[in-house]
Chains A and B, each alone.
Chain A
């Protein structure tokens, strides 16, 4: 069975500081990995995704994540936080197509990012 653990339910950073949100996964086969962002009273938007190929993935709004198989991690980073980055972030895992995963995403519990001046 697949699972996702997000370390830290709340993260607070200063504007301009590095953002690091941690995600570890468990999967019996090479997974597909995702980061979604949720702004207040809105649905989830895809930030970035890893499927195959290059392990460093760049997404929208300056975010990136690195797939590290040996560490079963997919941490999300951004070099310089902006006030507009304050939101809740979800890491998710799924089986790749043709593995019967049917695009079922398994989500972590989420990390709420606060950015202060």
Chain B
């Protein structure tokens, strides 16, 4: 039981193409997050979701679309990929806000290269 699974782990695409990164969790955590990791910036929040059908923007949402029709899945779509979206993308989950300690659990990342 992997807990949180990201796919694909590696992806090369071209500018203008649509790309979807998948995130699946088996813990039934309420919260799910997408971060991107870039050198010198650490991790920056793209989008997050508090529950199925509830999503909200993070720090750097432009160029990305998310959906969450089921609790366990939180796909991230780049509708028209740009070179600036070359990055490592991390999905994370967190238990319900009430009584939680704020800890997040991370997937292994998806490395995306846009040529």
Contact = CB atoms under 8 A, between A and B. Distances in A.
A97 B42 contact: no
Given A9-B40, A94-B102, A96-B102, A104 B97 contact: no
Contacts of A44: 43, 90, 92, 106
B75 interface: no
Contact of A97 (B90, B102, B105): B102
Contacts of A110: 42
Nearest to B31: A103
A117 interface: no
Contact of B109 (A43, A51, A90): A43
Which of B35, B92, B97, B108 has the most CB atoms of chain A within a 10 A radius of its CB?
B97
Interface residues of B, number: 28
A25 interface: no
Nearest to B105: A46
Interface string A91-112: 0001111100111111111100
A110 to B, nearest CB: 5
Contacts, number: 73
16 contacts: A36-B106, A43-B106, A43-B107, A44-B106, A51-B102, A90-B43, A94-B102, A95-B102, A96-B102, A98-B98, A103-B31, A103-B33, A105-B43, A105-B102, A109-B40, A109-B41
Interface of A: 4, 6, 9, 32, 34, 36, 41-46, 49, 51, 90, 94-98, 101-110
Interface of B: 31, 33, 35, 40-45, 48, 50, 58, 90, 92, 94, 97-109
- CB-based closest 4 A-B pairs: A43-B106, A103-B94, A107-B42, A32-B102
Given A44-B90, A97-B100, 7 more contacts: A34-B103, A101-B102, A102-B50, A103-B103, A104-B48, A106-B45, A107-B44
